């Protein structure tokens, strides 16, 4: 099963990537690396397909989700203080980006999407 993980270079996303690989899945990782760290994926970079891109781009998200059977959506702009300081960008990423993931998954015929969040809600 091919699975897309958005926010794959973050703490939660990179641990999901590890778990999916351990379970034998084919993993594609989508991250813009603005808060996620390349180092979180370095140990698996030869085993996964890494797509660098922003959730605010429907085209980039759609390209990343194409051919996937499921999506684990972890991508977000974290930090409550940052969301207070810059609510427009926070909204564009966390709400608009999630809508792009949902639409791209629907358009690609993905039948399973898992969303989890922490303070980024």
Question: CA of 34: how far to CAs of 15, 31, 72, 93, in Å?
Answer: 18, 8, 19, 12
pLDDT (0 to 100) of residue 45 = 96
- pLDDT tens digits along 2-40: 999 999 999 999 999 999 999 999 999 999 999 999 999
**Could you tell me whether strands 70-73 and 49-52 are parallel, antiparallel, or unpaired per DSSP bridges?**
unpaired
CATH number of the domain located at residue range(s) 2-115 in this protein: 3.40.50.720
Token couple for 66: 């194409």
Query: With 70 as the cut, is the pLDDT of residue 120 above it?
Result: no
* Full-model pTM: 0.94
Question: Quick one: pLDDT at residue 61?
Answer: 98
- Per domain, the residue ranges of the chain are 2-115
pLDDT in tens, 54-97: 999 999 999 999 999 999 999 999 888 888 999 999 999 999 99
């Amino acid at each position: 099963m091919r699975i897309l993980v958005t926010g794959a270079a973050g703490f939660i996303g990179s641990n999901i990537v590890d778990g999916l690989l351990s379970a034998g899945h084919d993993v594609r990782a989508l991250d813009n690396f603005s808060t996620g760290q390349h180092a979180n994926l370095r140990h698996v970079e030869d085993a996964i397909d890494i797509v660098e891109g922003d959730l605010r781009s429907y085209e980039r998200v759609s390209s990343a989700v194409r051919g996937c059977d499921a999506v684990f959506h972890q991508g977000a702009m974290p930090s409550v203080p940052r969301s207070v300081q810059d609510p427009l960008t926070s909204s564009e990423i966390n709400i608009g980006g999630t809508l792009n993931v949902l639409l791209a998954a629907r358009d690609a015929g993905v039948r399973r999407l898992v969303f989890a969040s922490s303070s980024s809600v």
